[in-house]
Amino acid sequence: MAQRLRQFVGFWLLLWAAVAAAAPDILLANVYRNEIDPAPYLVSEKLDGVRAIWDGQSLKTRSGRVINAPVWFVDALPAVALDGELWIARQRFDEVSGTVRREVPVDAEWRKVRYMLFELPGAGGTFAQRVEQMQAIISKAKVPWLQVIEQRPAVNRESLKKWLARVVKQGGEGLMLHRADAPYETGRSDTLLKLKPALDAEGVVVRHLPGKGKYEGMLGALEIRLADGKLLRLGSGFSDEQRKNPPPPGALVTYRYRDLTAYGVPRFATFVRVREE
């Protein structure tokens, strides 16, 4: 039994590794820390959508999966690399995620979606200059579903704090900070920072742990592997339906936590959702 379990987990880890190898090489955000001076950064709202990378021919998720968007949607995109968020509105992630996941796109659903740009992969110049390039691209394209996320100077910590409070009060998720003077780069870096009222991160499902008591016969907890290789158990945040049909091994999930222990393990971690991108 133990050998079968190891083989099963090994299969899903190999599959996840193969998917990761096919993922686009893009810039990933670190978490904003109080000791960081926000003055060198341009700030935008963190949109709760599906990240999408356009390579000039096809749209792909962060994991490298092709997004089956309607022909009219992609035909309007320029023959240059783009990075942005497929987004409908605040607090409508489930809707846009469902739209993007369909094998056969539904025009009526995609008419609600906007491709909100925040980067030009591989382009030269500083980030502030690339923002100007993005604005020129959408002016030339002249289609309502291609837009640039507004970027504004952070000024100082106090203004950043007030800005975050306004966005969250209006139903937003948080803020993104991108150094205005930064050349394009990939990988996880302080060049790009996310600021939210609660911390979150992602991990890959390794196995399901059985439930007890009222959760007998259902999921008790997910064991996930973090980016640094540590294992973490998520036992809360699930609906009854999710406990009956939990994310499979190999799935990428988002969890929320309060802070880190002295050993670097997330404290009070709870499941948020499966990440499709």
> Taking a C-beta distance cutoff of 8 angstroms, is the pair 116, 149 a contact?
yes
Catalytic residue among 46, 169, 230, 244: 46
- Alpha carbon distance 250, 247 (integer Å): 8
Give the closest residue to 277 by CA, choosing from 117, 61, 97, 84.
Answer: 61
Please say whether the beta carbons of 244 and 261 come within 8 A: no
CA distance 135 to 73: 18
Length of the chain: 277
| Beta strand ranges found along the chain (DSSP E) | 27-31, 41-45, 50-54, 59-61, 82-87, 114-119, 146-148, 152-153, 175-179, 187-195, 199-210, 219-225, 231-234, 252-257, 259-260, 266-267, 270-274
46 is catalytic: yes
CA atoms within 13 A on the CB side of 67: 29
Rounded CA-CA distance 94/140 in Å is: 31
Q: Mapping DSSP to helix (H, G, I), strand (E, B) and coil, where does residue 153 land?
A: strand
Cα 75 to Cα 88: distance, rounded to the nearest angstrom: 20
Q: What is the spatial distance between Cα 134 and Cα 148, in angstroms, rounded to a whole number?
A: 7
**Per-position b or e across 180-190, b if 16+ CB within 10 A of its CB:** bebebeeeeee
Give the C-alpha separation, 161 to 167, whole Å: 10
Catalytic positions, please?
46
